[in-house]
Amino acid sequence: MSRPRIVIVGAGFAGYRTARTLSRMTRGRAHITLLNPTDYFLYLPLLPQVAAGVLEPRRVTVSLSDTLPNVRLVLGEADRIDLDGQTLHYTGPEGDGGTLAYDRLVLAAGSVNKLLPIPGVAEYAHGFRGLPEALYLRDHVTRQVELAAAADDPKSCAARCTFVVVGAGYTGTEVAAHGQMFTDAQVRKHPLRQGMRPRWMLLDVAPRVLPEMDEKLSTTADRVLRQRGVDVRMGTSVKEATPDGVVLTDGEFVETRTLVWCVGVRPDPLVESLGLPMEKGRLLVDPHLQVPGRPELFACGDVAAVPDLDKPGSYTPMTAQHAWRHGKVAAENVAASLGLGGARKPYRHRDLGFVVDLGGAKAAANPLGVPLSGVPAGAVTRGYHLAAMPGNRVRVAADWLLDAVLPRQAVQLGLVRSWSVPLDTSSPELARVPGGPERRQEESARSGPGAAIAADTHDGGTGAGSSQGRAGEEPAKGQPGSRVTQDRPGSGTAQRRSEEELAKGRPGAEPARNWPTDEPAKGPVGGGSAKGHLGGESAKSRPGGEPARNQPGDEPAKSRPGGESAKGRSGGGLARNQPGNEPAKSQPGGEPAKGQPGGEPARNQPGGEPARNQPGPTPQPPAGQPPPGPDTAPGPVKRSDAPDDSAKGDS
């Protein structure tokens, strides 16, 4: 008898716990497949410490392959679920499609940034849901402080040293608390010329900080923030975001280069088009985390509306604490449904307390309902995180010790650009890359730790399934140049909600959409704003300024089709020895070439050296991609000659 196939979508708190528990319970009696865009589990509560330079990025990531024995990891994002056919279609990291068949499916896709209909927010704000966003924020904050220290204009200096955080929940409060300490430490080593101090603002429409927590903890957090210098404004939010700053709901305009969006989260769009009953974007499940009417389908974590048995009529909140415990119960019930475990269990959990890290030795905590503050709260908070992490405990503790005795290293790594982490994305765990992945020419069997095997696939073959046509037609979802359409619910199938056709703020698109920019532009966006404003002086190869050579939308680069041809390449201007150009040596009227009957051979070209500055063929976009225009970021151009590494680089 073949082993039952269990597919888990997502490796967040719920998905990771489900996979780990099932691995221990089944002990090889079931084939478990975990589908996730990355090869690590991210411990989100410590992400603000990564942005503030306390922890290195790898400290908050736990390898899936190393910690989940007997679990097959497939790298990719779920696109479509055929509920009747019990198959899941996904897109891999290099744009190739695949299909997974299942006997039990656990949806634990997590959540993405919550957007509100506020003008300019989607273009000019950045979220804080994934590792790329944390790395971008650390680089960006460091850059703004360094540029402010070198600025002669006090107004520009003040704008660069103003950081606005919207949302006073767990994430926003910790980002503002750690951020103020981080920038103050930088300024102590490199004082600003005007004697200014970095200013962090924390905004929320709620009446108090941490409204979901006990009022005593809220008061403690508010006091620590204000003592540290954070400008806390409750009952206030952003009315509009512009390239130069933000307009607050009270009418005040705040000049800033940084807007961090921590308003909240929404369930992953994957579940919205399943055509099943929903509750505020979350999939309705019973207390056993099973979807009614679908015995093979389970859901847990942020995508599931799980009834709270201790509070009839309500659902468990979207917190990491609940998601972690959802995963354990979901795994036990999946095993029970396959006859591999005991009886089914309903989900019931009583909160044991909350912890909020405010940086340094300060924190707010209420373990077992006992409110704490100061050093005791800090010790409890860090002890809780060490106990809750599924790995890297020694490394995290070592980083905390080093941070306590050594100064932090405030340097820009430049690994993540502004356009790589748009706010409006269904994949905050992935940074967008220039050009996006190219589809493979042929579907072939996959191999390696992130591959599906024959038992995963619907037909026992390569895993291409019905997605083969899609894989050959368009780039991968979520990458620049992509064009993923949305299918409406119907006949038991679902397809993931698409992102915008092209990444906002990409090079060649609207200049204002790359805010906050690294350097101010000469003149206003599209024409002439003064230096020191957002969208300020654009360096070459930055959106809003002169396009960089070797980038789409510019004067053709050397060695590219349509530009000056490099020596040794075809497709450029007319080569010598060709009609209409300077006659080559060894032709009538020219000096004979050596090595030929009477002369020197032409350089690297059949018949001669290519002439410079001659018109060549106009590059055309690949099939299925719209041509570049004033509001469209050009995608990769298909080349007919060998690839040119010199054209690669940061855009």
Interval 43-96: pLDDT, tens: 999 999 999 999 999 999 999 999 999 999 999 999 999 999 999 999 999 989
Structure tokens, 355:
């912890």
CA–CA distance, 65 with 442 (Å, rounded to integer): 28
Interval 278-304: pLDDT, tens: 998 899 999 999 999 999 999 999 999
287 conformational bin, left if phi > 0, alpha if psi -120 to 50, beta if neither:
alpha
- Looking at residue 191, what is its pLDDT? 86
Model confidence, pTM: 0.69
pLDDT band at residue 22, thresholds of 50, 70 and 90? Answer: very high
Query: What type of residue sits at position 38?
Result: T
Assess whether pLDDT exceeds 50 at residue 342: yes
Report the SS3 class of residue 169.
coil
CA–CA distance, 414 with 146 (Å, rounded to integer): 14
Mean pLDDT of all residues in the chain?
Answer: 76
- Looking at residue 351, what is its pLDDT? 79
Assess whether pLDDT exceeds 70 at residue 534: no
Q: Say which range, 53-62, 133-142, 267-276, has the weakest mean pLDDT.
A: 267-276
pLDDT band at residue 392, thresholds of 50, 70 and 90? Answer: very high
Assess whether pLDDT exceeds 80 at residue 518: no
Q: Concatenated DSSP letters for 52-118?
A: TTSS-GGGGEEEHHHH-TTEEEEESEEEEEETTTTEEEEE-TTS-EEEEE-SEEEE---EEEPP-S-
- Ramachandran angles phi, psi of 397, nearest 5°: -60, -40
Assess whether pLDDT exceeds 70 at residue 485: no
- Looking at residue 435, what is its pLDDT? 61
Report the SS3 class of residue 471.
helix
Assess whether pLDDT exceeds 60 at residue 633: no
Is the Cβ–Cβ distance between 301 and 110 less than 8 Å? yes
